[in-house]
């Protein structure tokens, strides 16, 4: 069953709504949400009719398309009977595969232009997924991934909320908290680091930026009537330029970190720099001294410790102290075995 672009947008929007079980969705709610998304992405001001959404729900239930388990509770609320269901998990039809191959072909052409020079990995991922979706298809390239990672389902609604500057109510449970906490947040940026996704937000009642891990989010609900507040003090395009990882605040300043690299680890550090500020200061007896300018955080420590004896911190002193203390605890744990 071939689908046009507007229908796909409607189906995806309805799917996002029905997966959000923190809110009850009436037919009128779905109409309003789909109309809002169509205006945001396509500039369509006329909205969508009740009949169209009713037909969309019927079509999504069809075995020829998604076979979506859409049910009505209390005679007015729409939801999925299976809370884990999503149309994004459905198999692609031959027609869908053909259309996606056409899109990939266009992207490969655009990849030759400077404005689209960073699309190579994305195109490779798409081509591999299309290859795998074919009958008897298989992976021809493997990317780093974690199939057990939670929270990826929040990427789309959070992306839309950031783009539309929409205030959110988020249910969140940090590793340090014993219970889920409900808060009102202004979302500003989605950030990926080593296959984990994070949301940079500001709490309504605290003027400071927070980093929320998507795998710790339990629920998200839009608050369209709650005013959204920008954070003009921060340039989010460059917010993480001075950091390795995601642990930092807007007040953190980068420090000059000087490291000694062993001959064995030297090729790895040269071919894959720790940070874009990396600079070689000198080389002697096979060893190399480098410097980087980054925020002192947990991810930096973990990166350095990952090189083992092949990397030594020369400065600043506070970082030397942190690394030494961590190594001493590690050694103490092994001596007791």
CATH topology of domain 5-89: Arc Repressor Mutant, subunit A (1.10.10)
The backbone torsions φ and ψ at residue 195, rounded to the nearest 5 degrees and listed phi first, read 70, 5
Give the architecture-level CATH label for domain 255-335: 2-Layer Sandwich (3.30)
For 188-225, write each residue's pLDDT tens digit: 999 999 889 999 999 998 888 999 999 999 999 999 89
Q: Apex CA 40: angle with CA 37 and CA 43, to 5°?
A: 110
Band the pLDDT of 185: cuts 50, 70, 90: very high
- Provide the pLDDT for residue 139: 64
What are the residues whose beta carbons fall under 8 Å from the beta carbon of 169, sequence distance 6 or more? 182, 183, 184, 185, 220, 221, 222, 223
Judged against a pLDDT cut of 80, whether residue 249 lies above it is answered with yes
Beta strands in 253-327 (DSSP E): 255-261, 279-284, 287-294, 311-315
C-alpha–C-alpha distance, residues 310 and 264, integer Å = 7
C-alpha–C-alpha distance, residues 258 and 280, integer Å = 10
For 289-333, write each residue's pLDDT tens digit: 999 999 999 999 999 999 999 999 999 999 999 999 999 999 998
- Provide the pLDDT for residue 2: 44
Q: How many helices (H) and strands (E) does the chain have?
A: 9, 11
Mean pLDDT score, 42-55: 91
CA separation (Å) from 245 to 194, 294, 303? 8, 10, 10
pTM: 0.69
Q: Quick one: 291 exposed, middle or buried, by C-beta within 10 A (0-12, 13-18, 19+)?
A: middle
CB 257 within 8 A of CB 315: yes
- Provide the pLDDT for residue 1: 42
- Provide the pLDDT for residue 309: 94
CATH of domain 152-238: 2.30.30
Band the pLDDT of 131: cuts 50, 70, 90: confident
Q: Reading across the β-sheet that carries 181-193, which strands appear in turn?
A: 209-213, 196-203, 181-193, 168-172, 217-222
């Amino acid at each position: 069953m071939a689908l046009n672009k507007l229908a796909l947008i409607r189906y995806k929007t309805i799917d996002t709504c029905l997966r959000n079980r923190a809110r009850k969705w009436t037919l009128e709610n779905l109409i309003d949400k789909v109309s809002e998304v169509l205006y945001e992405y396509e500039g369509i001001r006329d909205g969508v009719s009740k009949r169209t959404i009713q037909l969309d729900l019927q079509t999504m239930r069809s075995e020829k398309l998604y076979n979506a388990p859409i049910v009505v509770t209390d005679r007015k609320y729409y939801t999925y009977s299976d809370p884990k269901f999503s149309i994004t998990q459905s198999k692609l039809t031959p027609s869908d595969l053909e259309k996606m191959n056409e899109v990939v072909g266009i992207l490969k052409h655009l990849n030759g232009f400077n404005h689209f020079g960073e699309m190579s990995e994305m195109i490779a991922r798409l081509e591999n997924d299309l290859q795998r979706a074919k009958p008897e298809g298989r992976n021809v390239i493997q990317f780093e991934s974690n199939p057990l990672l939670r929270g990826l389902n929040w990427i789309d609604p959070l992306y839309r909320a950031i783009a539309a500057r929409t205030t959110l109510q988020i249910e969140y449970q940090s590793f340090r908290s014993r219970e889920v906490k409900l808060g009102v947040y202004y979302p500003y940026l989605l950030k990926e680091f080593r296959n984990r996704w994070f949301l940079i937000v500001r709490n309504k009642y605290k003027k400071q930026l927070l980093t929320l891990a998507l795998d710790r989010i339990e629920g998200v609900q839009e608050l369209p009537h709650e005013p959204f507040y920008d954070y003009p003090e921060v340039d989010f395009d460059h917010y993480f330029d001075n950091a390795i990882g995601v642990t930092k605040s807007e007040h953190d300043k980068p420090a000059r970190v000087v490291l000694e690299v062993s001959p064995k680890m030297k090729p790895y550090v040269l071919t894959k720099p720790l940070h874009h500020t990396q600079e070689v200061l000198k080389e002697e007896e096979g060893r190399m001294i480098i410097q980087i300018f980054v925020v002192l955080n947990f991810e930096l420590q973990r990166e350095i410790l990952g090189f083992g004896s092949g990397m030594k911190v020369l400065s600043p002193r506070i970082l030397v102290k942190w690394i030494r203390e961590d190594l001493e605890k590690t050694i103490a744990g092994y001596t007791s075995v």
